[in-house]
Amino acid sequence: MTGQTDQLAREDVDRRSIDTIRTLSMDAVQAAQSGHPGTPMALAPVAYCLWQRYLRFDPADPIWPDRDRFVLSNGHASMLLYSLLHLARVQAVNPKYEAIGKPSVTLDDIETFRQLGSHCPGHPEYRWTSGVETTTGPLGQGVATSVGMAAAGRWLAGRYNKPDFRLFDYDVYAIMGDGCMMEGISNEAASLAGHLRLDNLCWIYDNNHITIEGSTSLTFSDDVAARFQGYGWNVTRVGDANDLELLSKAFDVFKATSGRPTLIIVDTHIGYGAPHKHDTAAAHGQPLGEDEVRATKRFYGWPEDAHFLVPDGVYEHFESGIGRRGAKLRTEWFALFERYRQGHPELADELFRMSHRQLPDGWDSGLPTFPPDPKGLASRESSGQVLNVVARNVPWLMGGAADLYPSTKTRLTFDSVADFEAGSYTGRNFHFGIREHAMCAIANGMALTKVRPFASGFLIFTDYARGAMRLSALMEIPVIYIWTHDSISLGEDGPTHQPIEQLASLRAMPGILVFRPADANEVTEAWRVIMPLRHEPAVLVLSRQALPTLDRSRYAAASGLARGGYVLADPPSAKPDVILIGTGSEVALCVAAYEALAEENIAARVVSMPCWELFEKQDQAYRDEVLPPQVRARVAVEEGADFGWSRYTGIDGAVLGMETFGASAPIQKVQAKFGFEPAHVIQAARDQLARRP
């Protein structure tokens, strides 16, 4: 009898907790007059079951390193996550990784969902709301990012776990909807996760047959289970999202599965319990309406007039579930870590630094300086050399290419650095396969786990990767992107491979630093600036062709790169009449023009401008020193779209850039066809001067 009463009481509090998530979500969307109520209502039991019964997560410390990760890939269902963060009383952490003694999400935040300043913005934002593991909203990104978290977990275990010290053993859960399932990026990521046999990864598919335009029968008839089985996943089904026991069984199956990731397909009803909107697209993206909210609450057995109600016992219930379990696990973990620190002080120090985004002492020792060389080397080549020096010093720097390392020169070749492969996870050379978009999302997931990732490919294919790159910038995480074959000067591969507008469009992205170094020594300096970055992603834009290594005894030091733009060469008077501005391969072109102009007694200055963003951060005095406002005769030269350059040349300056696609031909022919030759630059300088007698 007592047993039955307990059972009933438990069902009651389970139900009450689930309905609290549902009603908070409905009320928040209703108050905001915008948002997505139906999916949190449907998924409440799924997320509840996972958090309350399984997730190894301590609400008091949402960043302890071995916590399970939870990703809400269908970010429009943000109220589901906010409700959980609130009810579990997850604590806020500041940018210094300190708990600040405040809840991450207050009831007030929920009541002001989607309003300025609320910790419940429209979609979950990493950094803004503690406990949000990654920003989601662009469908598919979350699940792809979760693969990076899972891979990083395996790597951390491979490097840091020792006999008797199982420091890293976390699982990664991601909830996804039909949208995530349809997006290409999730297919790329699932394919790689299956290949890598990441059995610490569990995706939960909200199979509700509804998207914005209506039934998925309009657009989607995949056999999802067969597809994932084909990817090498373990697939299991839950036919009723409200059945906590079935859900628990599915999670148990995940936990017991080794050698492959798990997909749990859960049949749900969007807008569950709303009499007129249940199972309809109308429940997806708009408030239910006051009447429907009331009727739904009636269906749940909820007080119809109550708003933002958290019934007695609900906080305490979460406290006794996820709270107690998480606190115990975390306390044990830190005790374990203390003992680890005694036995493995160096590894413990690495972990401390890594998790605080610090670098090892001497991380920059042995960085190369390249001697002057008129023939020089490609910047992809010098970068490959520098990368290998840095990676030797920074054990948690790792990454790879989208099947292009022989071209991008991003392979780590020293010592016994291995490949990161299925079942053998200590390697630091990743093979992402031909999956640029997933590669970048996976790199995000790795960065969110605090290892330092790099991802590489051809600059042209940033078009394929942009969605994930944009999230690196939005999340302010220090992913390093290495994009090579940076211009029409890649030659014979022709216009399909020759980037034109990619540079300008990356520069247009807020919060990401774009470097296009002029020679090998600028490459070294770029790495010197990039590695200490903690909150910005960086892009290295590198050449396929050799670039002369400038004689720095004749021209200014490459360390000027740290200021974004610097005076590389000046006339003897240091009073230029015309300024030539270049980046990357075109700096040498400007230097050649400068030398020729000197013969004609024309006082030219060359400015190397490898990073616009850093230049913009300098004070006005410095910027005026480099680009004196009174010197209006200016020529900018870049083998890319001319878009944006008038910022530095002024409206009457000259921009030698690209206005069309390129052409397939050997490099000299391509450069000649589009005017990237000294004569052209010299003529542009003369023309500029002629306009200003």
Ligand X SMILES: Cc1ncc(C[n+]2csc(CCOP(=O)(O)OP(=O)(O)O)c2C)c(N)n1
Q: Which residues are catalytic?
A: 436
Instruction: Give the nearer residue to Mg ion in terms of CB position, either 140 or 326.
Output: 140
Residues 12-51 that bind ligand X (CB under 6 A): 39
Single-letter amino acid, residue 140 = G
3-class SS shares of the chain: helix, strand, coil, % to 5: 45, 15, 40
Which region, judged by CB under 6 A, interacts with ligand X, from 197-205, 207-215, 475-483, 599-607? Answer: 207-215
Instruction: Give the nearer residue to ligand X in terms of CB position, either 72 or 479.
Output: 72
Site string for ligand X, 224-263 (x = CB under 6 A): ----------------------------------------
Burial 248-281 (b: 16+ CB within 10 A, else e): eebbeebeeeeebbbbbbbebbbbbbbeebbbbb
3-state class (DSSP) for residue 456:
strand
Residues 123-142 that bind ligand X (CB under 6 A): 137-139
Task: Find which of Mg ion, ligand X, none residue 212 binds, CB within 5 to 8 Å per kind.
Answer: ligand X
Residues that bind Mg ion (rule: CB under 5 A) add up to a total of 4
Nearest to 231 by CA among 275, 191, 259, 198: 191
Which region, judged by CB under 6 A, interacts with ligand X, from 86-94, 208-216, 576-584, 639-647? Answer: 208-216
Which region, judged by CB under 6 A, interacts with ligand X, from 209-217, 372-380, 406-414, 599-607? Answer: 209-217
Strands (E), 492-577: 513-515, 538-541, 546-549, 566-569
Question: Closest approach of Cβ 285 to ligand X, in Å?
Answer: 7
Gap between the Cα atoms of 672 and 430, Å rounded = 38
Task: Find which of Mg ion, ligand X, none residue 138 binds, CB within 5 to 8 Å per kind.
Answer: ligand X
Q: How many residues does the chain have?
A: 693
Q: At what angle do helices 38-49 and 78-87 cross, to 10 degrees?
A: 40
Question: Closest approach of Cβ 503 to Mg ion, in Å?
Answer: 38
Which residue of 211, 262, 388, 524 would you call a contact of ligand X, by CB under 6 A? 211
Tokens, residue 160: 């840091």
Q: Does 456 bind ligand X (CB under 6 A)?
A: no
Instruction: Give the nearer residue to Mg ion in terms of CB position, either 182 or 598.
Output: 182
Q: Residue of minimal CB distance from ligand X?
A: 177
Question: What letter does residue 460 receive in the DSSP assignment?
Answer: G
Instruction: Give the nearer residue to Mg ion in terms of CB position, either 191 or 208.
Output: 208
Q: In what helix (H) or strand (E) does residue 689 lie, and over which residues does it extend?
A: helix 678-690
Are 40 and 22 in contact by the 8 Å Cβ rule? The answer is yes
Instruction: Give the nearer residue to ligand X in terms of CB position, either 93 or 241.
Output: 241
> Tokens 């021209």 sit at which residue?
555
Question: What letter does residue 308 receive in the DSSP assignment?
Answer: S
Gap between the Cα atoms of 168 and 41, Å rounded = 33
Nearest to 502 by CA among 454, 472, 455, 466: 466
Residues that bind ligand X (rule: CB under 6 A) add up to a total of 19
Which residue of 8, 212, 256, 557 would you call a contact of ligand X, by CB under 6 A? 212
Residues 45-84 that bind ligand X (CB under 6 A): 74, 76-77
Residues 31-90 that bind Mg ion (CB under 5 A): none
> Tokens 């090579």 sit at which residue?
484
Residues 89-108 that bind ligand X (CB under 6 A): none
Which region, judged by CB under 6 A, interacts with ligand X, from 210-218, 563-571, 641-649, 678-686? Answer: 210-218
Q: In what helix (H) or strand (E) does residue 203 lie, and over which residues does it extend?
A: strand 201-207
Kindly tell me the sign of the dihedral angle through the C-alpha atoms of 285, 288, 293, 299. negative
Q: Does 210 bind ligand X (CB under 6 A)?
A: yes
Which residue of 118, 208, 296, 410 would you call a contact of ligand X, by CB under 6 A? 208
Site string for Mg ion, 191-210 (x = CB under 5 A): -----------------x-x
Instruction: Give the nearer residue to ligand X in terms of CB position, either 80 or 539.
Output: 80
Question: Closest approach of Cβ 211 to Mg ion, in Å?
Answer: 5
Question: Closest approach of Cβ 240 to Mg ion, in Å?
Answer: 17
Tokens, residue 651: 């409206």
Site string for Mg ion, 155-184 (x = CB under 5 A): ----------------------xx------
Site string for ligand X, 141-180 (x = CB under 6 A): ------------------------------------xxxx
Question: Closest approach of Cβ 88 to Mg ion, in Å?
Answer: 26
Sheet of strand 452-458: strand arrangement: 429-431, 397-401, 452-458, 480-484, 538-541, 513-515
Question: Closest approach of Cβ 227 to ligand X, in Å?
Answer: 16
Gap between the Cα atoms of 268 and 563, Å rounded = 54
Question: Closest approach of Cβ 216 to Mg ion, in Å?
Answer: 7
Question: Closest approach of Cβ 29 to ligand X, in Å?
Answer: 13
Task: Find which of ligand X, Mg ion, none residue 486 binds, CB within 5 to 8 Å per kind.
Answer: none
Task: Find which of Mg ion, ligand X, none residue 284 binds, CB within 5 to 8 Å per kind.
Answer: ligand X
Gap between the Cα atoms of 198 and 174, Å rounded = 13
Question: What letter does residue 67 receive in the DSSP assignment?
Answer: P
Question: Closest approach of Cβ 183 to ligand X, in Å?
Answer: 6
Q: Which residues does 206 contact at the CB level (< 8 Å), separation at least 6?
A: 39, 42, 43, 46, 74, 175, 176, 177, 178, 266, 268
Q: Which residues does 125 contact at the CB level (< 8 Å), separation at least 6?
A: 132, 135, 474, 475
**Contact positions vs ligand X (CB under 6 A):** 39, 74, 76-77, 137-139, 177-180, 183, 206, 208, 210-212, 270, 284
